[in-house]
Structure formats: C-alpha cells, structure tokens
Chains A and B, each alone.
Chain A
C-alpha cells in the first residue's frame, strides 16, 4: 500500500482519469483528516483504501490531510473529531468519523451504492 501523509492524493491504480470524471455522479472525492501517524490515522487510511478498492474501484480520489502540517484547514471543514472522512463529491457533503473499522457504518456514511456490488 502506498500512501503519503503530506496531503497528497492517493489515487487508485488507474491513473488515467481526466477531469471530466470528477463531476460524474458516480465519482467519489474523499478527504481524510488525520493528525500525525497515530495508530488511529494509519488504521483509518488502510480501512478507507480497502473499502474504496472494494466498492469504488476506479471512481474515487482520496486526499489525506495532516492537520499537524496544515492546522488552518481544521476550522474550514469544521473538524473536531479525528480521523474525519469528508465526502466532498458527490454532494451533499458527508462526514464519517473514526478509524473506519466499522464498514457498515462507513458505507452508510458515504452513501455508497456500488454499481456491481450485491451483498451476499
């Protein structure tokens, strides 16, 4: 798993998306706020990546923001609890807090309806 905590994008394996897909209704723009490489942060990043790969393969972008580096962003997005996952796209804005260990709640929180996923 390759991720970077310095506010960089973690993109799925397919790197060839163009901007048109960003506004696509099925496209997910996610932002994860953490503070340092705490166990909770690392768990959240891992869990999120796993979920996204499972349900949103090819149509998501994850942006990890470390508030220890850029604390000014905390007030703008009304961050109180950490880690916080914000679904910036598609609208409306949604938030999920915690280390995202609870997959059910995360799916509900992100309102994910995978195209070809059928719970068994």
Chain B
C-alpha cells in the first residue's frame, strides 16, 4: 500500500456521516449523524425534538440533496408546516417540490378493536412507499412511541419496533427517531434499547426562572464525539448549537495594534492601540463612560472599514445611537453602511448559555472584526457560570481573531469585586474608569490596570466626554494627591502664578547684573582713560628731559670751545 492511500488516522476509516446542517452539532459529532443508521433523539416535552428532526430533513433536502420522509405520529402535516413556518422553514415548498413527504400516522385506540394476532406491516408499507416515492435518504419518526398509546399488546409493539429499526438499517436510510424522556431512562418505553447507534439527549432546564436548552450526545457508536452538554438555541433563524470551544490556547495572535478611538488612550497603551484579537475589559462605576469608550472603539473600527457587532444588554439601538451622537460619535452612518450591527436583548431573556449560543451564531453570521459586549455585568448569577460563559465567548473571539471589548459595571469603588476578579485573568487589557469625588464635584479618571505585551503608561489620567468624543487630560498628581476638575485648574493657576513670580525675580536679577556689568565696564574705561592720560604726560616729561639733556650737552660743548678746550 502506498503512503498516499494509507489512512493517516482512525478518522479516515471511520463510519460515514450525514451532516445535519445544524450549526455546532455537526462539529461536536465530527460530521453529523451515522449514515444509514437510526439515531435516537430524546428529551422531555418542549425540548425541540420535532424541530430538530424537521431541521435535519429540511437541511438535507435543501442543502445536501437528500430527500426525506417525515412520519409524524403526533402532529398533522398541516400543523407541522405551520409550526415550523414560524421558524423560517418553508416546509410546504419542499413538500410541493417532492423533496419531503409528510405522513401523519394517526392511531386512535378508541376506534380500534383488536381481534387476534396482528403486526405493524401497514406502517412498514407506508414508510417504504414514502421512501421509494421520492428516493428518500433521510427518515424521521416523530414520536414513534405514540404507538404505545394506540395498541394494547406491548409485546407485539416491541417486537415490531425492533423489526422497524432493523428494517430502516437494511433500507440504508439515515433515520432520526424521537422519543419522550421517561423516568429513569432515556425514553418512556425504553426504545433506546433498540436504537443504540447514536443517542442525542435534549434538555430544557429552568434555573432561576430562566430556561436554557442543552444538548448532549449520550452515545455515538463507532465515533468520537463531544461529551459535554452544549447549549442550543431555537429562534426565528432555526437551531444552532454552541460549538466546542478550543480546549487549548492554540489561537494565533497578532502583533497588529488597532486604535482605541481615543487618541490619548492610544498613546497611553504604548503601541498605538489594542492588539488585534485581544480581549479588552473596561470596568467602572455607573456614568463613567464605559459605553462611550466602546462606541469610540467601534467608531474607529468602522472608519477603518471593519465590521463591528455590538451586543447591547441595557440599551436599545436607537438609544445608543442618540446618546453617542451627543458626544460626537456618530454611529448611524456605520449602521447604514452595513458595517455596524446591533444585537440588543435583555439579559433575562435567556440564560447565559443561550445568550452565548446566540452571540456565537450572530458572530458566525456577521463575521465582525470587532465585538463589543455592553455590559457583561448585566448577567446576573453565580460567578462560576458567568466566568465559564465569558471564557467561551473570549475563546470564540480569539480563535476568530476578533478584538473583543467588554464593559463591566463595578458594583463599588473597590479595585475589583468578585465578578471582575473572575474575568480579569481572561482579559489582555484592562482599563479601569474611576469617579473621583472632591470639592463638591465628580471627575472621571482612567488608568490602565494591565495591558499584556505593551509597555503602557502607569499614569492616572483625567478624561472628559466632550462634544468631540473622549479627550484625555493630564491629571495633577502632587503632594496633595490627585487633583481633578476645577481643583486641578486652581492648582494649575496657582502654579502658573508661582512660576510667574519666579520668572520675574530672575529677570530682575538679570537686569541688575547687566547694570552692574555696565558700571564696572564704565569704571574700567575711566581707569583706562586715566592711565592713558598719565602715560601721555609721562612721555611729554621724558621728551622734555631728553631735550634738556641735549641742550645741556650743546651748552657744555659751546662753553668748552669758548674756553679753548678741544672738543
């Protein structure tokens, strides 16, 4: 066998799988449901079993070219179509196009008298006919256990169901069989005994009045699969399952830094902004402008032409747009340009995990470069769960190279509370916004608690929310502590005065000095002049002396001549 044809690992020879088209589920089952085998989908009432099954068929018919048969034991075809229409499924069109056959099996015990031995061959005939009529590859039996209510002879039913599942396997169709959750077992009548290739459990739990849907692959014969419980979401865009998050920390990192939208903050960070793909936490008390920082970041990203997704948990889209207009951050053009999308929902609408599933779905849909969650503190609950949720969200963003900015409302003036401490380790950059109250006014201060991989400023800075966005000013830090606002202005004025006085003194001394220099220079000139005068007089005297000397000599010579002496 050549190297090329040798399977690299077990997956290459693993059983064939049929994709469900349900986001996340195909990831955690590593490809989908086992092809040509029945899969049991069980869960309590209202878990979304039927919807899951319909999704499986619709995706198959629409996206994978595999027709399907839906055998309903509970709902009539018309009801089924109407029910799933609200989720954006056009089941009726697929039925008309002969891609899906819906067969409603109705068994009314009151209408039926049993006389002697029987079997369920009629069901087989119907199913076989439906499969053959459109060449179906996918079959859904929803909920086959309803038959137990229609017939008295359980032993016949069990034998027939066993035969049915074996028949489905022989037929080579990928079947989904739904079953109602029973006490102490997966299904009410224990049909998991017969369908043992793949079992998926759906769950719908209510905790603190909030419902969370969860999915677990209980078993999957012949395949690896994700074993955890994964939250899933049913809304107008169908079903999506929260995928497996990266277990390791293997995501690629970027050295590129992107602007925070606040020039002063870019400078403080030392690298000109946040690292792309990093997680940023902005924490602070109410009214410190956390959302504004988020909006400034979005504004900067949109101006670079990057798509941004804003998850708002406290304000509506219009409210945010209006409020940000007041500080000179205009988001409306970005929304109109399709660069910015809002996803606003109350935190109490779902549990954390449902929110997470929704956010994940939106991120996959919109493929943003920047995600802002405002605020994460809106999630109330055990910090362990919040932490788990945020870890997953941060992971999702990091694996996709998305820069995520989270705002968090601090509950007190303390450095960090429990929630903040639990998320702080996730964050690459943490900006703390503070309120400083003194001299009858409140002022806003900002400092960088941490910025991984950046030589950032350690300074406490005051900032203003102006008509043109956020502006950072130097905070006064002196012997009297941090001064902000008018106190800082007063202090600055005092300092200006003092420096004026000092500079005036220097000037005076300088003038004195030059005057002194001038007077000394004058004195020197005087002395010089005196000296020169004296020198001149001296020369005159010397000349006179010499002249006299000459005349004396002449006189003596003349006198000697006169006396008759020889010269």
- Report which A residues bind B (CB closer than 8 A): 33, 35, 38, 40, 43-44, 47, 67-68, 71-72, 74-75, 78-84, 93-103, 105-106, 108-109
Choose, from B106-114, B372-380, B453-461, B502-510, the stretch at the interface. Answer: B106-114
Query: Is B53 in the interface zone, CB < 8 Å from A?
Result: no
Shortest Cβ distance from A40 into B: residue: B117
Q: How far is the CA of A81 from the CA of B150 in the complex (A)?
A: 10
B140 to chain A, nearest CB (A): 16
CB contact between B122 and one of A33, A43, A106 (< 8 Å): that residue: A33
Shortest Cβ distance from A103 into B: residue: B115
B148 to chain A, nearest CB (A): 12
Query: Is B337 in the interface zone, CB < 8 Å from A?
Result: no
B115 touches A97 (CB 8 A): yes
B129 touches A72 (CB 8 A): yes
List B contacts of A83 (CB < 8 A).
118
Query: Is B193 in the interface zone, CB < 8 Å from A?
Result: no
B129 touches A74 (CB 8 A): yes
A82 touches B118 (CB 8 A): yes
Shortest Cβ distance from A34 into B: residue: B121
Given known A-B contacts A40-B118, A82-B120, A74 and B125 have beta carbons under 8 A apart: yes
Instruction: List 29 contacting pairs A-B, 8 Å CB cutoff, sorted by A.
Output: A38-B121, A40-B117, A43-B116, A71-B129, A72-B129, A75-B103, A75-B130, A78-B105, A78-B106, A79-B125, A80-B107, A80-B123, A80-B126, A80-B147, A81-B119, A81-B122, A84-B118, A94-B113, A95-B112, A95-B113, A97-B112, A98-B114, A98-B115, A100-B116, A105-B113, A105-B115, A106-B113, A108-B113, A109-B115
List B contacts of A75 (CB < 8 A).
103, 126, 129-130
Shortest Cβ distance from A71 into B: residue: B129
List B contacts of A105 (CB < 8 A).
113-116
Count A-B contacts at CB 8 Å: 104
List A contacts of B125 (CB < 8 A).
35, 67-68, 71, 74, 79, 82
A85 to chain B, nearest CB (A): 8
Instruction: State which residues 47-75 of B face A: CB under 8 Å.
Output: none
List A contacts of B120 (CB < 8 A).
80-82
Q: How far is the CA of A63 from the CA of B434 in the complex (A)?
A: 88
| 20 additional A-B residue pairs with CB within 8 Å, beyond A81-B151, A105-B113 | A38-B121, A40-B118, A71-B126, A75-B103, A75-B130, A78-B106, A80-B120, A81-B122, A82-B119, A83-B118, A84-B118, A95-B113, A96-B113, A96-B114, A97-B114, A101-B117, A105-B114, A105-B115, A105-B116, A108-B113
Scoring A72, A97, A99 by chain B CB atoms within 10 A of each residue's CB, the highest score goes to A97
A99 touches B118 (CB 8 A): yes
Given known A-B contacts A35-B121, A80-B147, A74 and B126 have beta carbons under 8 A apart: yes
**Number of chain B interface residues as a range:** 20 to 34
List A contacts of B129 (CB < 8 A).
71-72, 74-75
A70 to chain B, nearest CB (A): 10
B122 touches A95 (CB 8 A): no
Q: How far is the CA of A95 from the CA of B107 in the complex (A)?
A: 11
Query: Is B128 in the interface zone, CB < 8 Å from A?
Result: yes
A23 to chain B, nearest CB (A): 22
List A contacts of B150 (CB < 8 A).
80
List A contacts of B114 (CB < 8 A).
96-98, 102, 105
CB contact between B117 and one of A78, A93, A98, A109 (< 8 Å): that residue: A98
Instruction: State which residues 352-375 of B face A: CB under 8 Å.
Output: none
List B contacts of A43 (CB < 8 A).
116-117
A98 touches B111 (CB 8 A): no
B115 touches A84 (CB 8 A): no
B126 touches A79 (CB 8 A): yes
B16 to chain A, nearest CB (A): 29
Q: How far is the CA of A71 from the CA of B118 in the complex (A)?
A: 18
List B contacts of A38 (CB < 8 A).
121
B116 touches A84 (CB 8 A): no
A41 to chain B, nearest CB (A): 9
A6 to chain B, nearest CB (A): 16
List A contacts of B130 (CB < 8 A).
75
CB contact between B116 and one of A72, A102, A108 (< 8 Å): that residue: A102
List A contacts of B112 (CB < 8 A).
81, 95-97, 109
B162 to chain A, nearest CB (A): 16
CB contact between A82 and one of B103, B115, B121, B147 (< 8 Å): that residue: B121
Q: How far is the CA of A102 from the CA of B112 in the complex (A)?
A: 14
Chain B 200-229 near chain A by CB (<8 Å), digits 1 or 0: 000000000000000000000000000000
A35 touches B122 (CB 8 A): yes
Shortest Cβ distance from A106 into B: residue: B115
Shortest Cβ distance from A82 into B: residue: B121
A55 to chain B, nearest CB (A): 14
A47 touches B116 (CB 8 A): yes
Q: How far is the CA of A71 from the CA of B103 in the complex (A)?
A: 13
Shortest Cβ distance from B71 into A: residue: A75
List A contacts of B123 (CB < 8 A).
80-81
